[in-house]
Amino acid sequence: MASPSRETVTSTPNHSDPPEKHDKKGISVTPLQVGETTPTKKVFFDDIDGGLRGWSAVVGAWLIQFAMVGAVSAFGSFQTFYEQTWLKTYSHSEIAWIGSLQLFLEFFLGVIGGVLLDGGQWRYTVGGGSALFVFTFFMLSLCKAGQFAPILLSQGIGMGTGLGFAYLPVSGIVSKHFTRRRSFAMGIITTGTSLGGFAFSVLASKLLGSRVGFAWTVRISAFIATGCMLLANFLITEPKKKAEVVEIQQNSQEKISQSEGNEEETASAKEEKPRTVPELLRDPAYLSIIASGFVVCLGLYFPMFAIQSFALHNAIGPGLASWLLSIINLSSVLGRTIPNWLADRYGTLELYVPCTAAAGVLLFCLGVATNPAGIVVFCFLYGFFSGSIVSLYFPTVVALDPHVGTTGVRLGIACLPVAFASLVGSPIAEALVSGGKHWWHGIAFAGTAELVSAALLAFAWTVEKKRKLQKRL
């Protein structure tokens, strides 16, 4: 936006002039509105937190999550197909590296996306990431049976890189639009992951083994993703900057202050300065939260990747087994909205701790869910609580500091430990399972990881509580 031109203001009093204010030193200050004096016509969304641009960005970010993260979340259906048909000469652990690479790059590249987001260059990462994701998605359809390396390159590295460049910036943009309903808005966009995972997993489960075949199943999925991302890149925009105010003081110095967010956030931002990266890394609450992100992701995705194989191992019919991942994805829609809606009222950590602990307890219950009714109940409940773990992570990190100018860097750093945990977590659990011989080993590993994560979050909650009490004194 072009900088406003300076205007000459005489000292002659005028009844139409705005009233004078006085600063702490007794100097009179006359605020002068620069720009158009004609009042702007309001629309319905102007009175809602986020406004029309904010909710358009929510829709666009939702489409990104649906098309990109949803396709990655459906890897469990591809893994079952690879194990049984396409890559049956490779071990379960080797095949799991494809999905783990996608998750690793999704979060690891968030640092680059976060820096560019704070620098105002997020369009390049989102647009470039979308194009790369679509290209490599179509390239996956050219891979033949037994070609592990090309599948790893296209589906694991290519699609993962495209997703990594786009994932964090769209979440960061949405967080900048909202103040009072930030957690809820960020929870809404993550439901795109759940519904996308449901749609793509059903598509893959039903078409991969049919006459359609591998190539056209992948192409149909890629065409759907292409349409979603074209619309998404059009809808996502940054928050519109408000009018600048020129304050003219008696010492002839002019100060230009620009208001970009909600009054509540502006007031809170004035109370304390933005924290630098070294200061963040010395904050015990921030460190505990990102440490919990690392630990929880060691076990979080194990059920998504292994649930179909676990069901088939326990003599559950292939018809029901093909729907289990879809049940997890659908129930996580509720888990990504209800806890986030409550978090705007009661606090993010207040919801994050019990949801993470519940997911850990449920994982230990998976070992005894060896009948159709038990495994369906597990998938529904685990989908809810695992969805809340994903959707509350970014709002919890953002809530530690009100300054939106450093949102990208804070989220980018928080993505790094998640990236490495996502890379090694599922292969470790699959290796512990030993091809279906020791399911309890993988279950215990994943469940323990989530319970330890809940303990770390509880520590962060304690630190934040003490900090807030000290500010009130």
Q: How far is CA 232 from CA 7, 130, 210, 214, 226, in A?
A: 40, 10, 31, 27, 10
Q: Is the per-residue pLDDT at 339 higher than 60? A: yes
* Higher pLDDT among residues 103 and 218, named by residue: 218
Contacts for 273 with CB less than 8 Å, ≥ 6 apart? none
The reported pLDDT for the residue numbered 200 is: 92
Q: Are the CB atoms for 156 and 379 separated by under 8 Å?
A: no
Reading the block at residue 393, the tokens are 């992570």
Instruction: Report the helix count and the strand count for the chain, using DSSP H and E.
Output: 20, 4
pTM of the complete model = 0.71
pLDDT classification of 50: cutoffs 50, 70, 90: low
Q: Is the per-residue pLDDT at 267 higher than 60? A: no
Q: Is the per-residue pLDDT at 268 higher than 80? A: no
The C-alpha atoms of residue 234 and residue 289 are separated, in whole angstroms, by: 33
The mean pLDDT value for 62-69 works out to 94
The reported pLDDT for the residue numbered 266 is: 45
Phi, psi values for residue 313, rounded to 5°: -65, -30
Q: What is the mean pLDDT of the chain?
A: 81
Q: What is the DSSP letter of 405?
A: G
The reported pLDDT for the residue numbered 353 is: 95
* Higher pLDDT among residues 420 and 266, named by residue: 420
Domain range 45-238+275-465, CATH class: mainly alpha
The reported pLDDT for the residue numbered 309 is: 84
The reported pLDDT for the residue numbered 234 is: 92
The mean pLDDT value for 430-443 works out to 79
> Collapsing DSSP states into helix, strand and coil, what is residue 62?
helix
The reported pLDDT for the residue numbered 219 is: 96
The reported pLDDT for the residue numbered 241 is: 65
The mean pLDDT value for 340-366 works out to 93
Q: In the chain, pLDDT over 70 holds for what percent of residues? A: 80
Q: Is the per-residue pLDDT at 252 higher than 50? A: no
Q: Is the per-residue pLDDT at 138 higher than 70? A: yes
The reported pLDDT for the residue numbered 270 is: 46
Q: Is the per-residue pLDDT at 259 higher than 60? A: no
pLDDT classification of 67: cutoffs 50, 70, 90: very high
Q: Is the per-residue pLDDT at 344 higher than 70? A: yes
* Higher pLDDT among residues 333 and 38, named by residue: 333
The mean pLDDT value for 335-344 works out to 91
pLDDT classification of 289: cutoffs 50, 70, 90: very high
Nearest to 457 by CA among 291, 283, 282, 281: 291
The reported pLDDT for the residue numbered 41 is: 53
pLDDT classification of 117: cutoffs 50, 70, 90: confident
> Collapsing DSSP states into helix, strand and coil, what is residue 22?
strand
pLDDT digit string, tens, across residues 168-207 = 888 888 888 887 788 888 889 988 988 998 899 889 988 9
Q: What is the DSSP string of 219-277?
A: HHHHHHHHHHHHHHHHH--PPPPPPEEEEEETTS-EEEEE--S-HHHHHHHHHSPPPPH
* Higher pLDDT among residues 257 and 307, named by residue: 307
Q: Is the per-residue pLDDT at 18 higher than 60? A: no
The reported pLDDT for the residue numbered 301 is: 84
The reported pLDDT for the residue numbered 8 is: 43
pLDDT digit string, tens, across residues 386-425 = 999 999 998 898 888 766 667 788 888 888 999 898 888 8
The reported pLDDT for the residue numbered 19 is: 52
The reported pLDDT for the residue numbered 44 is: 47
Contacts for 153 with CB less than 8 Å, ≥ 6 apart? none
17-21, 101-105, 320-324, 374-378: least confident range: 17-21
The reported pLDDT for the residue numbered 255 is: 39
The reported pLDDT for the residue numbered 161 is: 95
Q: Is the per-residue pLDDT at 36 higher than 90? A: no
Q: Which of 41-45, 450-454, 466-470 has the highest mean pLDDT?
A: 450-454
